[in-house]
């Protein structure tokens, strides 16, 4: 079969699933359509459930059955949903894989399928006086860049669909959920397969819509509705930038087709805007504003943590692995443009770096397991933009690729944890789950190592490459490198803090819930396992140049090369940095990752399994704190009360003077930076958002006051309008 | 130009004649259908009338296509059937069809089911025909008054409802007031040209400097009258009150057909006789467009009544459409044409869902009445979502097309500031459209029973919904029609 | 000279009548003022040598329509309404607006007055066409046939509309 010419089919499979679900779903799923969804992620005593209870008497029993995990109502037709929707994504995956394999045999590594002219245009004179006719096709482009994206979307998407059949099994909105999810996959595939910016924008808006619908899936939670709306409105601000950038691109370049744009920009008619901030830089900046909205970068990142109100598989698929990377993909797609606009690229890199470290510091103090991961996602996306900004496009995509595996895994794992502890999301009420849900633990263990950047795991390769590029590329600088490095350390710390609080130590789970803890069904653990394998292997296709490997081990960069060919990839400041520098830097980052993990262990490890020097030092602290148990009290101890007051005579002199002093200092810094971040988040960012909406609201009042309802007043305004017209003539 | 009356005149006039005749038929045979249930057959009569008128339009279209002429000129230049006129007439056909389909059930619920309503629909469309096809100041003016008069009555059709009465009186008074301005402008144009034919007026104005005081006076007063009809700020103030008070079917009709017809009129005047004075009116209209978008979008935010909210949204749409005229290049005019068509079905669709909410004892025009619609009647909620997305200009719905071409034309003609303002207001618009979406999808369910709707409403919803999506994905036919409508 | 004198006389009648129509609180007075205004218009037609229009104006408006008006006013008891206080007083705003618009329009018209080509009555053309009535018929049924026909539909709608709005049971 010629998959290459059938790439237009790839998005259509999930669309079919979505249409069937949304039109006929209520008939497949025997639940009453008006029923209120009760999710595993919702604690039963929440107001939401009481509201549900108020409406439907039977919901309560249903939810209780669910808690014990033995409820399998629905049956028959519901299986159709469970087979159809993941099946459709699987078909997409097969077609994608087929197409990508065939693409490898195409010499120019690029294949376009144009179905029809979508937005036909009229001839007009461009800024330069040239006559141009603009049109955008309903067309699809498969090249190395989009092939990576479709594999990620359909591959990870399929696993998450399978996972969802288990996770969402007890939800009343089952068909609705899968309908939205399939619709999302459709739009996401449109986004990455489109051959021009206009069609890309279809997917761009579509994924935003699905994200909105899925965030607000638990519609009886008010916070869910607000979060959904916040996401959509914030995204629209970014979209305004995207539209303007696209229109400007058209008026300057005369086309918005990826291939043509790259060719025109690479033709030499446009020179790099090194001197000033010209039209290309404006264009690039506008597009980047669009990217900051979708990919949750400063200043538009505020919606992503709130988006965690949605079901966990949604967080995994949309808010970690795919949709939020759309901005990264778009900027990488525009590589030829950013190549010519060093100033904008610097902005991209700086915004990325700043976002990375800001989000990482916020993640340090979050107690909601999903919020930690959300901020972590923001931070990792910052890394990708950092890579884009320094001109290392393939590295950004590489990190996107590996991140998709381990972050999806982390989210799904956290979903499994939440599932196990009956909807609890607060890590302070977890702990000691390691042996009760072993598969979840071990898979998350792998993911945590991957994100921390431990050699051999996927995250290491991509993150290290980003750091190296930030240091060595022409666009890079020492400052960017240091920020990236610090973020890496913080990442290792907060991720292992999460692991410790969740899986190790003594259980802090409420007794009545503890009795119900159980490992998730196979439909959930199998995707976890597969993702864990991916989290190890995915990085090996992009091993550092330093390691001197070849072939598959450096396959990623070679595969992507045609996509960024016109871009002078990796303009490494040769000579300035040699192999030994790279080795040293790698060592530093590994060391920092280990230190981060170590500190996390030091601070949060409760029952040391592995004897060692660090654990030995932990001992006194552990004993000291054993009567003040909860981890948040460690915080109080370290950060609030101060060490001297709490420690007192129980600590040995060594501990007090050396180790604890260090911890205290680090703690002070962490507390300061994170409270600054929170302050920034609450007052500056949220404040700006609130102020804007307040301003918008307030400004609508004068309009209403004028609207008195008196017809004479209306007539007066007609006359005033006419007078203003006349006045214009006189004032001219 | 033909100087005699012949089959040519009859041919040109067929659609209008058909509409008027069917209208008269309904008036005459009203007595045959005594009770409210039987009166629903009038909806069928309207549909029949539309089909016959549609055949007339189609034959004209076919004639233009085969003969190679750009237009059929009749009544010594008072009437010109060109592609522009035909294009807009198709929009009117669609709007009247949809409104007729949903009216019978709505009127029964309101308890005001009378044959006159259907007759007025047809007469109103008859007036619109002349607005789109008229090329004579007097023809245009009488066509406008014919349409407006029908609307005054239809807006006040719920005679027992104070809101409806108030709306009708306000609309009537202000409508007459603005017509005064319009006709004053026309009288000056006549004074300049010594003729009421648009071609003569155009020649007279072209012979004078762009900033000629009389041309300017004629332009501004005409503009006041026309901008009032399309509800552009600051002449928009009748719209929210009239939209809120009118029967919802008529609100839909008013917001779509009346606006489309007035835009046809506006384009005829501003691209015809007033085209030479572009330097004078371009900044004025730009200011009006910005003010219109500002007021429409900002005021919509704090509305709690859906009809009022959609009224302000419709005001803001008028602002976007005006931008196409300001850009003034081919893309811009095409943009307006596409926008008018697309706006017709998406806005009608949104109103249809509001109409579906109307039941005995439930007015259903408050935003909260939409609460939890997704769990009552998912089909309606999904359709409403599509219409709102389209109104907000989100691809791949049809609404994106209109905005896209308008914005594109602004960029093409280097109106960057306007483009930025318009794009930002689109972001604001999302805010209030999504208030409705949020209520539908996330709102607390107050009522569990699914909506009970008439057959006609479901057909109408089907048509508008399919068009909104299909045109967004495959716009080629509409684009071609729109391009042909003004390219000679 | 005489023409100018009569023009200003009739113009005063038109304007004065119109102002009185909107300012009188007694409906009968208003209606009679309107008659004055319409007679003034008729006089202006006469000055333009449009005798036919002059006759039609007198017969139809002054004779027919206004008499109907007066009948209706007398049949319906409007005394109560006349005694009620007007609920808004913005006459000074209205005055201001009228003045402003008037001044502006006067300014424009004065600046561009030379452009009007139709300032003189077309005596010769009327004579050539075989008289005033014939020429009106000629213009009406040739050049303005279409608006004339649409006007019939307009009137029909006006009748239907007023019935719909006024009648309690249709």
Average pLDDT score over residue span B430-438: 84
The answer to whether B214 contacts C112, with C-beta atoms less than 8 Å apart, is yes
Looking at residue A115, its pLDDT comes to 87
Task: State whether residue A140 is helix, strand or coil.
Answer: strand
Chains that touch B (3 or more CB pairs under 8 A): A, C
Q: What is the pLDDT of residues B403-425, one digit of tens each?
A: 989 998 998 888 989 999 998 88
**What is the band of B30 on the pLDDT scale with cuts at 50, 70, 90?**
confident
- To the nearest whole Å, the CA of B177 is away from the closest chain A CA by 7
C chain contacts of residue B208, beta-carbon cutoff 8 Å: 115
- CB-closest option in A220, A709, A725 to B220: A725
The answer to whether C88 contacts A710, with C-beta atoms less than 8 Å apart, is yes
Nearest to residue A420, comparing CAs of A451, A444, A452, A449?
A444
Task: Report the DSSP beta bridge partners of residue B79.
Answer: B74, B134
Looking at residue A682, its pLDDT comes to 60
Segment 26-45 of chain A within 8 Å of chain B by CB = 26, 33-36
Residue B334 has pLDDT above 70, yes or no: yes
C chain contacts of residue A719, beta-carbon cutoff 8 Å: 97, 100-101
Of all residues in chain C, the one with the smallest CA distance to B188 is C116
When mean pLDDT is compared over A217-231, B61-75, C30-44, the highest value belongs to C30-44
- ipTM for this prediction: 0.91
A613, A602 contact by CB (below 8 A): no
Looking at residue A59, its pLDDT comes to 34
Domain residue extents for chain C: 2-82+130-169
Residue A723 burial by Cβ neighbours in a 10 Å radius (0-12, 13-18, 19+):
middle
Residue B1 has pLDDT above 70, yes or no: no
Number of Cβ pairs < 8 A linking chain A and chain B = 188
Q: What is the pLDDT of residues A525-574, one digit of tens each?
A: 999 999 999 999 888 888 887 777 777 787 888 888 887 764 444 444 44
Task: State whether residue A107 is helix, strand or coil.
Answer: coil
Average pLDDT score over residue span B129-147: 95
Chains that touch C (3 or more CB pairs under 8 A): A, B
- List helix spans (H) across B302-453: 306-327, 330-357, 373-376, 378-392, 398-412, 416-442
Average pLDDT score over residue span B69-94: 91
Looking at residue B87, its pLDDT comes to 94
The answer to whether A712 contacts C90, with C-beta atoms less than 8 Å apart, is yes
- CB-closest option in B75, B159, B215 to C146: B75
The answer to whether B153 contacts C117, with C-beta atoms less than 8 Å apart, is no
B379, A216 contact by CB (below 8 A): no
Phi, psi at residue A270, to the nearest 5°?
-110, 130
How far apart CA A366 and CA A375 sit, in angstroms, is 9
Of all residues in chain A, the one with the smallest CA distance to B406 is A247
The answer to whether B159 contacts C165, with C-beta atoms less than 8 Å apart, is yes
How far apart CA C146 and CA B12 sit, in angstroms, is 11
Looking at residue A22, its pLDDT comes to 81
C33, C24 contact by CB (below 8 A): yes
B92, B129 contact by CB (below 8 A): yes
- To the nearest whole Å, the CA of C105 is away from the closest chain A CA by 9
Looking at residue A696, its pLDDT comes to 64
How far apart CA A316 and CA A160 sit, in angstroms, is 8
If chain A, 732 residues long, is cut into consecutive pieces of 10 residues, what is the mean pLDDT of each piece? 87 91 70 42 36 36 37 60 89 94 87 87 70 83 92 93 88 84 94 93 90 79 71 80 88 86 84 82 93 86 81 88 91 90 92 89 81 91 93 91 93 90 82 86 93 90 90 85 92 89 82 82 90 90 78 81 61 57 86 86 58 42 33 34 37 41 51 58 60 64 69 86 88 81
The answer to whether A121 contacts B430, with C-beta atoms less than 8 Å apart, is no
Place of tokens 């049956």: A75
Nearest to residue A369, comparing CAs of A451, A426, A420?
A426
Average pLDDT score over residue span C9-22: 92
The domain C2-82+130-169 having CATH identifier 1.20.120.1200: the answer here is: yes
**What is the band of C123 on the pLDDT scale with cuts at 50, 70, 90?**
low
Looking at residue A694, its pLDDT comes to 66
- CB-closest option in B116, B127, B138 to C147: B138
Of all residues in chain C, the one with the smallest CA distance to B113 is C170
**What is the band of C10 on the pLDDT scale with cuts at 50, 70, 90?**
very high
- To the nearest whole Å, the CA of C32 is away from the closest chain B CA by 22
Nearest to residue A81, comparing CAs of A6, A174, A147, A168?
A174
B391, B256 contact by CB (below 8 A): no
User: Mean pLDDT of all residues in chain C?
Assistant: 82
Prior bond of A299 cis (ω within 30°): yes
Q: What is the pLDDT of residues B460-472, one digit of tens each?
A: 999 999 999 999 8
Looking at residue A611, its pLDDT comes to 34
Long-range interactions of C122-125: CB distance < 8 A, separation 24+: C123/C49
Looking at residue A518, its pLDDT comes to 84
Q: Kindly list the residues of chain C whose beta carbon comes within 8 Å of any beta carbon in chain A.
A: 88, 90, 93-94, 97, 100-101, 104, 108
Query: Angle at CA A356, nearest 5°, toward A156 and A496?
Result: 70
B110 CA to centre of own chain: 24
The answer to whether A718 contacts B178, with C-beta atoms less than 8 Å apart, is yes
Query: Angle at CA B265, nearest 5°, toward B259 and B268?
Result: 140
Residue B192 has pLDDT above 50, yes or no: yes
How far apart CA B149 and CA B262 sit, in angstroms, is 14
How far apart CA A48 and CA B241 sit, in angstroms, is 39
Nearest to residue A160, comparing CAs of A233, A59, A89?
A89
Looking at residue C49, its pLDDT comes to 80
What is the bridge-based pairing of β-strands B79-82 and B71-74?
A: antiparallel
Looking at residue C97, its pLDDT comes to 86
B443, B368 contact by CB (below 8 A): yes
Average pLDDT score over residue span B115-123: 94
B405-B408-B412-B418 Cα dihedral, nearest 10 degrees? 110
Residue C55 has pLDDT above 80, yes or no: yes
C chain contacts of residue A725, beta-carbon cutoff 8 Å: none
Phi, psi at residue B217, to the nearest 5°?
-60, -45
Number of Cβ pairs < 8 A linking chain A and chain C = 20
Looking at residue C112, its pLDDT comes to 78
How far apart CA C136 and CA C129 sit, in angstroms, is 9
A342, A386 contact by CB (below 8 A): no
**Mutation site for B-interface testing, chosen from C112, C140, C167, C169 by largest number of B Cβ within 10 Å:** C112
Calculate what percentage of chain B has a pLDDT beyond 90. Answer: 59
**What is the band of C61 on the pLDDT scale with cuts at 50, 70, 90?**
confident
- CB-closest option in B78, B116, B215 to C147: B78
Number of Cβ pairs < 8 A linking chain B and chain C = 99
Segment 55-94 of chain C within 8 Å of chain B by CB = none
A chain contacts of residue B424, beta-carbon cutoff 8 Å: 240
Looking at residue A399, its pLDDT comes to 93
Of all residues in chain A, the one with the smallest CA distance to B473 is A118
Task: State whether residue A684 is helix, strand or coil.
Answer: helix
Task: State whether residue B295 is helix, strand or coil.
Answer: helix
**Mutation site for C-interface testing, chosen from A712, A726, A731 by largest number of C Cβ within 10 Å:** A726
Q: What is the CA radius of gyration of chain A?
A: 27
- To the nearest whole Å, the CA of B338 is away from the closest chain C CA by 29
- pTM, entire model: 0.85
Place of tokens 């071409």: B405
């Amino acid at each position: 079969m010629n998959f290459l010419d059938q790439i237009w089919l790839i998005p259509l499979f999930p669309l079919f699933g979505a249409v069937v679900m949304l039109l006929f779903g209520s008939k497949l799923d025997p639940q009453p359509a008006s029923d209120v969804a009760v999710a595993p992620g919702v604690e039963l005593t929440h107001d939401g459930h009481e509201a549900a209870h108020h409406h439907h008497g039977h919901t309560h029993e249903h939810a209780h059955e669910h808690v014990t995990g033995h409820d399998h109502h629905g049956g028959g037709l519901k299986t159709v949903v469970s087979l159809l929707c993941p099946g459709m994504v699987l078909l997409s995956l097969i077609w994608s894989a087929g197409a990508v394999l065939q693409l490898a045999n195409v010499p120019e590594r690029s294949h376009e399928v144009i179905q029809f002219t979508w937005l036909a245009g009229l001839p007009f004179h461009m800024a330069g006086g040239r006559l141009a006719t603009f049109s955008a096709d309903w067309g699809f482009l498969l090249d190395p860049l989009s092939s990576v994206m479709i594999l990620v979307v359909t591959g990870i998407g399929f696993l998450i669909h399978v996972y969802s059949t288990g996770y969402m099994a007890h939800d009343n909105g089952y068909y609705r959920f899968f309908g939205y999810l399939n619709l999302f996959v459709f739009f996401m595939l449109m986004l990455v397969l489109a051959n021009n910016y206009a069609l890309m924008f279809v997917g761009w808006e579509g994924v935003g819509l699905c994200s909105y619908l899925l965030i607000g899936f638990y519609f009886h939670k008010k916070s869910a509705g607000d979060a959904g709306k916040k996401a959509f409105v914030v995204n629209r601000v970014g979209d305004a930038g995207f539209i303007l950038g696209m229109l400007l691109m058209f008026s300057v370049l005369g086309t918005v087709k990826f291939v043509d744009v790259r060719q025109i920009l690479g033709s030499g008619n446009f020179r790099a805007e090194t001197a000033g901030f010209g039209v290309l830089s404006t264009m690039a900046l506008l597009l980047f504003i669009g990217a900051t909205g979708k990919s949750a970068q400063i200043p538009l990142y505020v919606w992503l943590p709130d988006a965690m109100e949605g079901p966990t598989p949604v967080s995994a698929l949309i808010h970690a692995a795919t949709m939020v990377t759309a901005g990264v993909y778009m900027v990488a797609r525009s590589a030829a443009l950013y190549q010519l606009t060093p100033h904008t690229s610097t902005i991209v890199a700086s915004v990325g770096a700043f976002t990375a470290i800001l989000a990482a510091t916020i993640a340090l103090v979050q107690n909601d397991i999903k919020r930690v991961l959300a901020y972590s996602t923001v931070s990792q996306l910052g890394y990708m933009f950092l890579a884009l900004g320094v001109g290392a496009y393939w590295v950004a995509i590489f990190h996107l690729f590996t991140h998709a595996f381990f972050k999806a895994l982390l989210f799904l794992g956290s979903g499994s944890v939440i599932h196990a502890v009956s909807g609890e999301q607060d890590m302070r009420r977890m702990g000691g789950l390691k042996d009760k849900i072993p598969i979840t633990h071990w898979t998350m263990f792998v993911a945590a190592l991957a994100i921390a950047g431990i050699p051999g795991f996927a995250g290491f390769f991509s993150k290290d490459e980003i750091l190296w590029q930030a240091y060595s590329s022409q666009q890079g600088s020492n400052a960017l490198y240091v920020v990236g490095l610090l973020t890496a350390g913080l990442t290792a710390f907060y991720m292992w803090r999460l692991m410790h609080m969740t899986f190790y130590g003594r259980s802090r789970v409420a007794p009545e819930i503890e009795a119900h803890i159980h490992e998730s069904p196979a439909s959930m653990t199998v995707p976890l396992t597969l993702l864990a394998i991916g989290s190890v292997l995915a990085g090996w296709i992009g091993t550092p140049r330093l390691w001197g490997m070849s072939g598959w081990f450096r396959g990623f960069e070679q595969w992507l090369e045609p996509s960024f060919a016109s871009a002078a990839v990796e303009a490494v400041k040769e000579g300035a940095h040699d192999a030994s520098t790279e080795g040293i830097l790698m060592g530093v980052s590994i060391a920092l990752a280990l230190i981060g993990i170590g500190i996390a262990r030091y601070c949060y490890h409760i029952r040391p399994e592995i004897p060692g020097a660090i654990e030995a030092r932990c001992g006194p602290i552990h004993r000291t704190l054993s009567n003040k148990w909860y981890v948040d009290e460690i915080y109080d101890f370290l950060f609030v009360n101060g060490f001297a007051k709490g420690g007192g005579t129980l600590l040995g002199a060594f501990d007090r003077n050396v180790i604890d002093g260090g911890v205290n200092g680090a703690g002070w810094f962490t507390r300061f930076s994170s409270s600054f971040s929170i302050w920034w988040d609450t007052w500056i960012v949220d404040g700006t958002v609130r102020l804007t909406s307040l301003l918008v609201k307030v400004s609508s009042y004068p309009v209403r006051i004028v609207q008195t309802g008196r017809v004479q007043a209306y007539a007066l305004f007609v006359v005033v309008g006419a007078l203003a017209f006349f006045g214009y003539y006189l004032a001219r | 130009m033909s100087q005699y009356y012949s089959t040519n005149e009859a041919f040109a006039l067929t659609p209008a004649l058909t509409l008027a005749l069917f209208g008269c038929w309904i008036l005459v045979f009203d007595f045959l259908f005594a009770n409210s249930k039987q009166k629903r057959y009038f909806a069928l009569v309207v549909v029949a009338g539309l089909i016959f008128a549609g055949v007339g339009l189609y034959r004209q279209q076919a004639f233009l296509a085969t003969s190679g002429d750009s237009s059929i000129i009749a009544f010594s230049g008072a009437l010109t059937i060109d592609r522009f006129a035909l294009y807009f007439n198709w929009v009117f056909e669609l709007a009247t069809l949809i409104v007729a389909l949903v009216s019978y059930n709505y009127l029964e619920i309101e308890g005001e089911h009378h044959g006159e309503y259907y007759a007025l629909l047809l007469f109103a469309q008859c007036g619109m025909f002349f607005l789109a096809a008229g090329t004579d100041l007097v023809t245009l003016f009488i066509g406008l008054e014919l349409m407006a008069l029908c609307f005054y009555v239809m807006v006040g059709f719920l005679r027992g409802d104070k809101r409806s009465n108030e709306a009708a009186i306000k609309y009537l008074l202000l409508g007459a007031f603005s017509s005064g301005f319009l006709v004053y402008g026309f009288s000056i144009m006549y004074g300049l040209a010594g003729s009421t034919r648009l071609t003569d007026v155009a020649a007279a104005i072209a012979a004078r400097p762009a900033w000629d005081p009389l041309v300017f006076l004629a332009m501004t007063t005409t503009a006041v009258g026309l901008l009032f009809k399309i509800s552009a700020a600051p002449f928009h103030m009748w719209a929210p009150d009239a939209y809120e008070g009118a029967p919802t079917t008529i609100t839909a009709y008013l917001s779509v057909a009346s606006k489309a017809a007035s835009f046809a009129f506006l384009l005829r005047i501003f691209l015809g006789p007033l085209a030479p004075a572009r330097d004078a009116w371009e900044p004025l209209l730009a200011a009006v467009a910005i003010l219109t978008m500002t007021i429409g979008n900002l005021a919509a935010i704090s509305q709690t009544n859906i009809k009022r909210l959609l009224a302000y949204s419709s005001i803001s749409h008028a602002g976007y459409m005006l931008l196409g005229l300001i850009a003034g290049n081919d893309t811009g005019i095409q943009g307006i044409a596409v926008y008018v068509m697309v706006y017709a079905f998406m806005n009608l669709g949104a109103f249809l869902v509001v109409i579906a909410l109307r039941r005995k004892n439930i007015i259903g025009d408050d935003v909260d009445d939409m609460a939890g619609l997704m769990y009552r009647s998912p089909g309606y909620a999904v359709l409403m979502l599509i219409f709102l997305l389209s109104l907000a200009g989100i691809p791949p719905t049809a609404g994106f097309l209109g905005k896209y071409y308008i914005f594109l034309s602004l960029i093409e003609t280097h109106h960057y500031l306007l483009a930025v303002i318009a794009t930002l207001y689109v972001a604001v618009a999302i805010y209030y459209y999504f208030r409705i979406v949020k209520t539908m999808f996330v709102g607390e369910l107050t009522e569990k029973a699914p909506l009970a709707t008439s057959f006609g409403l479901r057909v109408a919803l089907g048509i508008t919904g399919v068009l909104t999506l299909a045109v967004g994905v495959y716009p080629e036919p509409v684009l071609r029609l729109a391009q042909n409508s003004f390219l000679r | 000279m005489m023409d100018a004198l009569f023009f200003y006389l009739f113009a005063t009648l038109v304007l004065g009548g119109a102002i009185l129509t909107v300012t009188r609180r007694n409906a009968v007075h208003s209606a009679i003022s309107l008659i004055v205004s319409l007679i003034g218009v008729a006089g202006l037609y006469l000055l333009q040598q449009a005798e036919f229009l002059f006759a039609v104006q007198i017969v139809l408006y002054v004779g027919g329509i206004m008499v109907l008006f007066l009948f209706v006013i007398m049949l319906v008891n409007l005394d109560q309404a006349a005694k009620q206080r007007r609920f808004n007083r913005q006459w000074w705003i209205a005055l201001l607006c009228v003045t402003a618009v008037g001044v502006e329009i006067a300014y424009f018209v004065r600046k561009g007055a030379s452009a009007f080509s139709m300032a003189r009555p077309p005596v010769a053309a009327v004579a050539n066409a075989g008289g005033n009535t014939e020429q009106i018929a000629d213009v009406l049924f040739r050049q303005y046939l279409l608006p004339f026909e649409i006007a019939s539909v307009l009137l029909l709608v006006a009748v239907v509309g007023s019935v719909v709005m006024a009648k309690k049971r249709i």
